[in-house]
Amino acid sequence: MPAIFIEENKAVVHHFFEQVWNTGNLLAASRYLSVGYLEHSPLPGQIPGFEGAKQVMAMFFGAFPDLKFEFENLDADGERVFVQCILTGTHMGTFLGTQPTGRLVNVRENHIYRLRTERIVEHWGGRDNLSALMEQLCSVPAPELGRLVYAQLA
């Protein structure tokens, strides 16, 4: 893939974070996610596809009104864009059944996005991201949290 397409893909993902995640603008998601969007790392209870992605974003925006992602690394290889970032926010709304704690969270995350024709068509994210976030909210030790999360999925 020519370098120009790789740079364009990186720019799409960068703008997706800046214009959707970092502003809480759910309406802007349709500019970046394809209609056939596929989530490989769904949250418990997440419905499939584009609507599921919007569901998760709305949950995050409601739970963390000051949500921000700061890039540590943004790289690409062909259609795939790799993101290493830090999520910060204050837990002010219900998140996965956890009532607001007022706690500030700080979670290092890794994401992989696959793009086609300047749209995100697939996403992979680590389960450890969710464990780290929930541990900060609930003060639940990570091994116990893993059992709780996977019990919700069953």
Does residue 154 lie in a domain region? no
Does residue 95 lie in a domain region? yes
What is the pLDDT tens value at each position of the chain, 154 positions in all?
A: 567 789 999 999 999 999 999 999 999 999 999 999 999 999 888 999 999 999 999 999 999 999 999 999 999 998 999 999 999 999 999 988 889 999 999 999 999 999 999 999 999 986 556 677 777 777 555 444 444 444 444 3
Q: Specify the 3-state DSSP secondary structure of 52.
A: helix
Does residue 68 lie in a domain region? yes
Does residue 114 lie in a domain region? yes
Does residue 105 lie in a domain region? yes
Does residue 17 lie in a domain region? yes
Count CA atoms within 13 Å of residue 150 on its CB side.
Answer: 8
pTM of the predicted model over 0.85: no
CA nearest 89: which of 108, 107, 66, 56? 66
Domain of 103: which CATH number?
3.10.450.50
Question: Going by C-beta distance under 8 Å and a sequence separation of 6 or more, which residues neighbour residue 150?
Answer: none
The residue segments making up the domain with residue 20 are: 3-126
137: left (phi over 0), alpha (psi -120 to 50) or beta: alpha
pLDDT value for 150 = 43
Does residue 101 lie in a domain region? yes
Does residue 153 lie in a domain region? no
What is the Cα–Cα distance from 146 to 154, expressed in whole angstroms?
Answer: 12
Tokens 């909210």 correspond to 137
Quick count: other Cβ atoms within 10 Å of Cβ 122?
17
Domain count for the chain, please give it.
1
